[in-house]
Amino acid sequence: MFTALAILFWLAVLVIAYVYVGYGLVISLLARYRARPVVKDDITPSVTCLVAAYNEADCMADKIANTLSLDYPPDLLDLLIVTDGSTDRTPEIVAACADPRVRLLHAPERGGKAAALIRAMPHATGEIVVFSDANSLFQPQALRHLVRPFADPTVGGVSGAKRILNRSQAAQEQGENLYWRYETWLKRCDSAVSSVMGVPGEIWAARRTAWAPPEPTTLLDDFVASLRMVVAGWRIVFEPQAVASEEASPGLFAEWTRRVRNAAGGWQAFRQLPGMLRHPNRTITWQYLSHRMARWMLAPALFVLAALTNLGLLAAPLYRATALAQALFYGLAGLGWLLAARKVRVGWLLAPFYVCMLNAAALVGGWRYLRGRETVLWRKVR
């Protein structure tokens, strides 16, 4: 029994280390020595910016103004906004815009973001469709940078970079910034080797004729749509100079809610993307499992397994030391949570706190998905 527990303990520790450290090291080495080049050029294809907005009256005027002011030929840019189910003034704000490049689609029924995008896509006229959120604002040159990789005929989609505005230095702002810095580094590496493993819904683009629709009930529409393009043989690359900024979640509970939903969407996506498991390029399957699915579906359970098996090994001095290390880690995470809840600057305690929050949210999100408790009609957290 002792040997079996020890094997399970070290297996859990090694897989966790691989998911959070090992994969990054391996993919960074591949990106350095086996990078696949991307052809880029200063092209200006016609672009439709597509925004699915639900009750976004507080930021819709800013989104319209930001999009129309981008450094891109005005005659090659239009903005299509679908406001299905909105009960505030969002449709009226869009309809009141006098610029003929702004178009409104509205239906009283709310079917969720994926359903709204599916309904809107036949109305998109641009060669390139740029997807964004109502509360995300593009930097002036973002569109020009975003379309440059489409000069490569193998590229079907381009991921931009998401930047969190860190105004108050609150824990959720620091945490999101830390997470997205890590994710940006991984996206650079994944893109250099083959394709990014998912795109941010705040800023990404697809060839209109190549976009692969998700099911209407999809929780992570951007993730599923982009990886279905990868399954179809397209390359999805990362363009770090195409930047969109947005505010962080308004509080820890809002950030928790968003992370739980993302994890539930990850479990759903595993069922929706069987083609990623049998992709002819086995490197892509390895990236998909290591970067995404292991983080949502495997690592959270292994944290629990490492703690439980360690309790059965306390008779040995080595495992008393590992138990102490785990207790210290979770204690520091708890202290980080207490400080964050009291709006005290967390500092270096952010790392253990955020790791624990992400994995706890993944456990809850997976459980909610398996029980059918996560709905496509998401609840706003702003």
- pLDDT digit of tens for each residue in the chain (382 aa)? 899 999 999 999 999 999 999 999 999 999 999 999 999 999 999 999 999 999 999 999 999 999 999 999 999 999 999 999 999 999 999 999 999 999 999 999 999 999 999 999 999 999 999 999 999 999 999 999 999 999 999 999 999 999 877 655 555 556 566 777 888 999 999 999 999 999 999 999 999 999 999 999 999 999 999 999 999 999 999 999 999 998 877 778 888 898 999 999 999 999 999 999 999 999 999 999 999 999 999 999 999 999 999 999 999 999 999 999 999 999 999 998 888 777 777 677 788 888 999 999 999 999 999 998 777 766 665 5
Strand partners, 48: 78, 129
What is the structure's pLDDT at 247?
80
What is the structure's pLDDT at 174?
60
* Angle, in degrees to the nearest 10, between helices 252-272 and 171-193: 30
What is the structure's pLDDT at 343?
73
Mind spelling out the 3-state secondary structure of the chain? Answer: CHHHHHHHHHHHHHHHHHHHHHHHHHHHHHHHHCCCCCCCCCCCCCEEEEEECCCCCCCHHHHHHHHHCCCCCHHHEEEEEECCCCCCCHHHHHHCCCCCCEEEECCCCCCCHHHHHHHHHHHCCCCEEEEECCCCEECCCHHHHHHHHHHCCCEEEEEEEEEEECCCCCHHHHHHHHHHHHHHHHHHHHHHHCCCCCCCCCEEEEECCCCCCCCCCCCCHHHHHHHHHHHCCCEEEEEEEEEEEEECCCCHHHHHHHHHHHHHHHHHHHHHCHHHCCCCCHHHHHHHHHHHHHHHHHHHHHHHHHHHHHHCCCCCHHHHHHHHHHHHHHHHHHHHHHHHHCCCCCHHHHHHHHHHHHHHHHHHHHHHHHCCCCCCCCCCCC
In angstroms, the CA 302 to CA 324 distance is 18
What is the structure's pLDDT at 171?
52
The Cα-based distances of 76 to 79, 101, 125, 138 in angstroms read 11, 9, 10, 17
Residue 314 maps to which CATH number? 3.90.550.10
The 10 Å Cβ neighbour count of residue 379 is 9
Q: Which two tokens stand for residue 159?
A: 């991921």
Q: Which two tokens stand for residue 73?
A: 């030929």
Give Cα 227 distance to the centre of its chain.
Answer: 12
* Torsional sign, CA 162, 167, 169, 173: negative
Pairing of strands 155-165, 137-138: unpaired
In angstroms, the CA 354 to CA 177 distance is 11
Look at the chain and report how many structural domains it folds into.
1
* Torsional sign, CA 166, 171, 176, 179: positive
Containing domain of residue 376, as a range?
1-382
Contact 110, 89 (CB under 8 A): no
Contact 366, 296 (CB under 8 A): yes
What is the structure's pLDDT at 167?
55
CA geometry: angle 66, 67, 71, nearest 5 deg: 95
What is the structure's pLDDT at 375?
73
Give Cα 237 distance to the centre of its chain.
Answer: 14
